[in-house]
Structure 1
Amino acid sequence: MNNARPAPELDPDANPASVARAIVLRQLTHSPKSRFQLSQKLAERHIPEDVAEAVLDRFEAVNLIDDAEFAHMWVRSRSMHKSLARGALQRELAEKGIAPDLAQEALEQIDDDTERGQAIELVRRKVRPSMDLGEAAERDKYTRRWVAMLARKGFNPSLAFQIVGEVIDESRQQD
């Protein structure tokens, strides 16, 4: 049994701007959001577009919504915790409605060496002593798997093949 009072958006007599502000504040309390994500949430709740835009403009004016800061934070977090490459991060930012120029600026935080190091570490974590990487069929099987894994994480295919080859060679030399 839920004793919480009903959400303001359920009251047909509620002021749409007040409802919109409450929705935006609740969304921002859970996690940072882009302006696009918040506008989608307001549209889902049937907030009139002009009211939604006015509320979002006000939140932007007081720096509670900042797509550039959101993009920088998103890239740092997803790169560090999920080891996503720039390609995947760029797609995610686009899905969140971040302008291409803001996304590009945020992606500049990740340099080639960092991205390469992440890819190497991802593949190294997959190598097991029980794998017979000296056998061509086994080597090919794991190459396909690991390149596909890196591709899902947004790494360039040529870089993925190069890194997988290097890690396999490194592993074979240790045996």
Structure 2
Amino acid sequence: MIPLFGGATDVDDEGVGEARSTAGEAWHPTWVSERPGGAGDDRSVTHSRELAEKGLLKKLRTRSLSISEARAVLREYDLVDADADGVLASLEEYGYLDDAALAEQLVHAGVDRKGQGRAAIAQTLAKRGIPRDVADAALAALPDDDLERALDFARGKAGAMGALDRDTALRRLTGQLARRGFAGSLSLTAARMALEEAPGGSSGVRFR
């Protein structure tokens, strides 16, 4: 056998040990970060994971994220799946990531601030990566008052449509309601009711 590292070796267990020892000595301590599988690799992985976690936390300070959105952020750091899962699990444990809480916030924002219907809110939840079962649970907690919310919105818009003929006003108002996520038949009903309640509504052309 051709001797490795300048010394003769035997082909028994002791010789193999000698060769391994000599090979080990060929590595200088300052090269540890370059040695495959060495402590340097572990430190590099740990450092990458720490950077990814800090980057994700920075985003979470300005905007709530779903777990799906957080995972997309971590992809920017080229973490292996196991490390990404570890970061996500850690942030979930400390309450930084909570899909159920985020879904509840989005539902209330859609209802209270935007006056949206269920369809629009459900679409928002899906876009934000909220799992279907979590989204359904959040929507199920909503009171069944879509008509009231649609009517509130329609009443606010009907007054500005006095210059339009009835058919045009009805069409526009129904379209606005539909874009806010209210069902077609409900949008039409709310639009008709709001226009009838508007000044001059009862004296104008009645809807059938």
Superposition TM-score, scaled by structure 1 size? 0.81
Q: Is it true that 1:125 corresponds to 2:156 in the alignment? A: yes
**Deviation sequence 1:61-109 (CA, Å, 0-9, x none):** 2222111111111111221101111111111111111111110111123
Q: CA deviation at 1:28?
A: 1.2
For 2:139, which of 82, 89, 107 is the aligned residue? Answer: 107
Aligned residues: 159
* Structure 1 position 51 matched with structure 2 position 78: no
Corresponding position of 1:98: 130
Aligned-partner Cα distance in 1 for 2:149–2:91:
36
Asked if the contact 1:16/1:48 (under 8 Å) is kept, the reply is: no
How far apart, CA to CA, are the structure 2 residues paired with 1:145 and 1:45?
47
Which of 178, 197, 203 is matched with 1:151 structurally?
Answer: 178
Q: AA paired with 1:72?
A: E
Q: Distance in 2 between matches of 1:112 and 1:77?
A: 17
Q: CA deviation at 1:162?
A: 0.7
Contact map agreement 2:158 2:173 (CA 8 A) in 1: no
Amino acid in structure 1 at the alignment position of 2:193: E
TM-score by length of 2: 0.69
State the AA in 2 paired with 1:92.
T
Question: What does the per-residue CA deviation read over 1:89-145, in whole Å, with 9 as the maximum and x for residues that have no partner?
Answer: 1111111111111101111232222x2222111111112367156xxxx11111111
Residue 202 of structure 2 is aligned to residue 173 of structure 1: yes
Aligned ranges for residues 54-93 of structure 1 at < 5 Å? 54-93=86-125
* CA RMSD after TM alignment: 2.2
Distance 1:125 1:90, change over 3 A: same
Give me the whole-angstrom Cα distance separating, in 2, the residues matched to 1:89 and 1:111.
14
SS at match of 2:159: coil
SS at match of 2:87: helix
Distance 1:123 1:130, change over 3 A: closer
Distance (whole Å) between structure 1 residues aligned to residue 107 and residue 161 of structure 2: 35
Corresponding position: 1:39 with 2:79: no
Distance 1:106 1:67 in 2: 10
Q: Structure 1: give runs of 5+ residues left out of the alignment.
A: 1-11
Larger radius of gyration: 2
Q: CA deviation at 1:39?
A: 0.9
Q: Which stretch shows the higher mean deviation, 47-56 or 58-67?
A: 47-56
Contact 1:39 1:52 in 2 (8 A): yes
**Partners of 1:99 and 1:139 in 2: CA distance:** 42
Identity of aligned residues (%): 28
Tell me, which stretches of 5 or more residues in structure 2 are unaligned?
A: 1-43
